[in-house]
Structure formats: C-alpha cells, structure tokens
Amino acid sequence: MKKLGFGLMRLPLHDASDLASIDIEATKRMVDRFMERGFTYFDTAYPYHNGRSEEAFRLTVAERYPRDRYTVTDKMPCWLIDSEHDMERIFNEQLQRCGVDYFDYYWLHALNHDYYARMERVDGFGFLARKKAEGRIRHIGFSFHSDSQLLQRILDAHPEAEFVQLQINYIDWDSPSIEAHTCYDICTKAGKPVIVMEPVKGGSLAHVPPAAQRLFQAHDPQASPAAWAIRYAASLPNVLTVLSGMSNLEQMDDNTGFMSDFKPLDHQERAIVHQVASIINDSIAIPCTSCHYCTEGCPQGICIPEYFEVYNKAFQFGDDKQLGNARMYYNVLAKSHSRASECIECGQCQEHCPQGIDIIDSLKLVAKTFET
C-alpha cells in the first residue's frame, strides 16, 4: 500500500457553510486522479460531512470501481451506542451507505475515557471480532484521542486490535496534551501499525508563517508546506499510511505528486521541520483542526472552527492589516451564524473536542477580539 490515504472529511462543497453539500462531480475527479496514480486507501466515518461522507464514497468510488481496486475504512460512532442492537443497526447502515459488502478496515471511533467505557459496557471489541469472523470486516482496530495511559490500557486489554489510528504531525509530536510521540511509541512496542490522521493539522500546516515558509523554500523551492507535513508523518517506520483530507484537485495533485515516489525526510530535513515547529507553536493561539465534532448539536449554531481559524490567522502574521481582514471575515460569518458571544456555555462542544480545547473560554477571546 502506498503511504497516502484519502480522508473523506474535507471534501469540496457547493456551499461552504453547509458541510452536507458535497460536490460529487468534483469529488469524482479527485478520486479518479487518486486512483490513476496508484493510491487505493479511502477513510470515511458515520458523522463526516453531517452524515453524507459515506454516501459520497459510494457515489464516487464504490459505484464506479471494481471492489478489488480500493480499500475502505469506516468507524463505529461510539457516542451513539447504548447496546449491541445499536451497533448492528449502524454497521448495516454504513455498509449500505458505502455500497460495499465488507469493510477492509473498521475502527471504534475516537476512543477516549468515556467512549472506551461505553464500548466495554456493550462489548464493542467483541462486536468487531464477530463481524470479522463473518467476513464483513477484514481488519479491526480503533482511532484514538486521549492520553497515553489509556492507550496502553486498551492495547493490554485488547490484543485483538490490529491497527491504531493516531493524530500525528510535527506540531503535536511533543505536545503534552496530544502525546503523539508517546502514543506512537506505545503502538510500535505493541506491534500495532499506525494509520496517521491530521498530518497537516486540519490544514493549518498548509499555510505557515513567513519565517517558516522561508526555511522550507530555502531547502526545496518546489515543495509545499503540506508536503513537508505529510512526509514528516509518513517517514515514521511504523506508519502504514497517512490520511490527507484533500478538498480540491490542486491539493490532490500536490499530495499524490510527492507521495507517488515517497522519500522519507533526511537528517537535514528533520532539523528544518523542528525549527518550523518552534516558529508555528509561537504563532498558533487556538490549536483547532476544524474537525467540526464540536458543532454537532451546538444549540446556538455557532461556527466554532471557522471563528477559531479567523482568530488564528489574525495573529499568525502579526500585523494590523491581517487583523482588519480577520475582523471583516468574522463579520461575514456572523451574518449567517450565531456570534461567538452568543455561546450559552452548555459545554457539549468541549465534551467532543479531540484536541481538548477550552472552547468556551476561546469563544470569549474571539468575541473580545472581533466584537468590541
């Protein structure tokens, strides 16, 4: 398998404010380019694009290519499960949505302390093992968003898990909250290959501060910042593949271009990435990856990731012009969404945030910056 997978959670849209408005024809062109260049791994999930990602996979891949031409990963939405009946119902719905008879890979989605306890109560790993025995799943595992101690506990309790999906990028590698390095080492020691999610950290590493860009370009004027980020993750020996949530054909061409004949980072390139990480860590105010887990069920309909992106861009380059542009973009967003100051502090967003962001306080910061 080539070390690049197509993550179907940031697909092209007809309406940027509606995650369900997937541009199927544009996605077909991206899929075709991906397949033409010898890549085969697709990753989807029940909640992506407000429940439309799996259907998009069926329309753009399953109905257009023979089953032996691709591999597909899907995931059990642990937060929706109260019984084995729920797992059976959702699993069958996912097969139908995706248009397949079996999944090549299937995970328990986004395990943390709460979701793992829930999966233990309903025997989630046992359900996956039974579906594997029935031939409906080829390989089982879990995606993970929590601390390293829990990861070790899960792997000790469930050696049947074959793979682990982790958030790994050069910003989070030494992060004390994400613990990417420690979690990677735990999986490696346990003999579990890793699938990498968020190598470009929700797209934030595709646009780096000028000082970081100069370091990259001095070494390789042709390589995009995204190329550096994806190659960093793919260079880890125990990584099976790296997912990229590509949103247009230009990104597809870029990613498949440098990953078609993948070359791991050398010693000098790793040193450059380390310097860039230091620069970026000093410029990112809110470490949001725009996964949108926080917005599902928000009673106020606040576009949390978009507000955080605007805030980060306002301060990433440190000038008044950028702040003025950010204020303009904020006001445009606020015309069709609730303002940051309208947060009622219910906390449901923080329960679902894989990054552990204090979203309530961060929204207050956004409101103070752009509404006063």
- pLDDT tens, position by position, 1-14: 899 999 999 999 99
> What's the distance, CA 214 to chain centroid?
27
The larger pLDDT score, comparing residue 182 to residue 325, is at 182
Q: Work out the burial of residue 213: count CB atoms within 10 Å of its CB; fewer than 13 is exposed, 13-18 middle, 19 or more buried.
A: middle
* Vertex 124: Cα angle to 121 and 126 (nearest 5): 110
The larger pLDDT score, comparing residue 255 to residue 287, is at 255
The larger pLDDT score, comparing residue 297 to residue 181, is at 181
Q: How far apart, in whole angstroms, are the C-alpha atoms of residue 7 and residue 11?
A: 9
Give me the helices (H) in the chain, please: 24-36, 48-51, 53-57, 84-98, 113-122, 124-133, 148-157, 180-189, 210-219, 225-234, 249-260, 267-281, 304-316, 320-336, 348-352, 359-370
Task: Give residue 69's pLDDT.
Answer: 98
Residue 166: count other Cβ atoms within 10 Å of its Cβ: 25
- Measure the N-to-C terminal CA separation of the chain; round to a whole number of Å: 52
Residues facing 71 on adjacent strands: 41
pLDDT in tens, 134-155: 999 999 999 999 899 999 999 9
Amino acid at 118: R
Task: Give residue 209's pLDDT.
Answer: 86
* Vertex 262: Cα angle to 29 and 209 (nearest 5): 80
323 pLDDT tier (thresholds 50, 70, 90): confident
Taking alpha carbons only, the member of 252, 341, 356, 322 closest to residue 7 is 252
343 pLDDT tier (thresholds 50, 70, 90): very high
The whole-number average pLDDT for the span 347-366 is: 92
322 pLDDT tier (thresholds 50, 70, 90): low
- Residue 316 predicted with pLDDT over 70: no
- Residue 336 predicted with pLDDT over 60: yes
- Residue 264 predicted with pLDDT over 80: yes
Mean pLDDT of the chain: 94
Q: What backbone phi and psi angles, to 5 degrees, belong to 301?
A: 65, 40
The whole-number average pLDDT for the span 42-51 is: 97
Task: Give residue 131's pLDDT.
Answer: 98
All residues at 6 or more sequence positions from 278 whose CB lies less than 8 Å from its CB, including other chains? none
Q: How far apart, in whole angstroms, are the C-alpha atoms of residue 27 and residue 9?
A: 12
Task: Give residue 230's pLDDT.
Answer: 98
Task: Give residue 335's pLDDT.
Answer: 86
317 pLDDT tier (thresholds 50, 70, 90): low
pLDDT in tens, 157-174: 999 999 999 999 999 899
All residues at 6 or more sequence positions from 292 whose CB lies less than 8 Å from its CB, including other chains? 19, 305
Name the helix (H) or strand (E) containing 142.
strand 137-144
The larger pLDDT score, comparing residue 235 to residue 207, is at 235
Q: How far apart, in whole angstroms, are the C-alpha atoms of residue 5 and residue 2?
A: 8
The whole-number average pLDDT for the span 47-70 is: 97
All residues at 6 or more sequence positions from 93 whose CB lies less than 8 Å from its CB, including other chains? none
Residue 299: count other Cβ atoms within 10 Å of its Cβ: 11
3-state secondary structure 300-351: CCECHHHHHHHHHHHHHCCCHHHHHHHHHHHHHHHHHCECHHHCCCCCHHHH
Q: What backbone phi and psi angles, to 5 degrees, belong to 137?
A: -135, 135
- In the block, tokens 């780096």 appear at 208
Task: Give residue 176's pLDDT.
Answer: 77
Q: How far apart, in whole angstroms, are the C-alpha atoms of residue 107 and residue 140?
A: 6
- Residue 284 predicted with pLDDT over 90: no
pLDDT in tens, 68-88: 999 999 999 999 999 999 999
The whole-number average pLDDT for the span 99-103 is: 98
Taking alpha carbons only, the member of 69, 154, 72 closest to residue 111 is 154
Cβ(159)–Cβ(126) under 8 Å? no
CB-hemisphere CA count at 13 Å for 312?
24
333 pLDDT tier (thresholds 50, 70, 90): confident
The whole-number average pLDDT for the span 322-331 is: 79
Name the helix (H) or strand (E) containing 87.
helix 84-98
Q: Work out the burial of residue 250: count CB atoms within 10 Å of its CB; fewer than 13 is exposed, 13-18 middle, 19 or more buried.
A: exposed
Which one of 201-205, 301-305, 352-356 scores highest in mean pLDDT? 301-305
pLDDT in tens, 209-237: 889 999 999 999 999 999 999 999 999 99
The whole-number average pLDDT for the span 341-349 is: 95
Task: Give residue 275's pLDDT.
Answer: 96
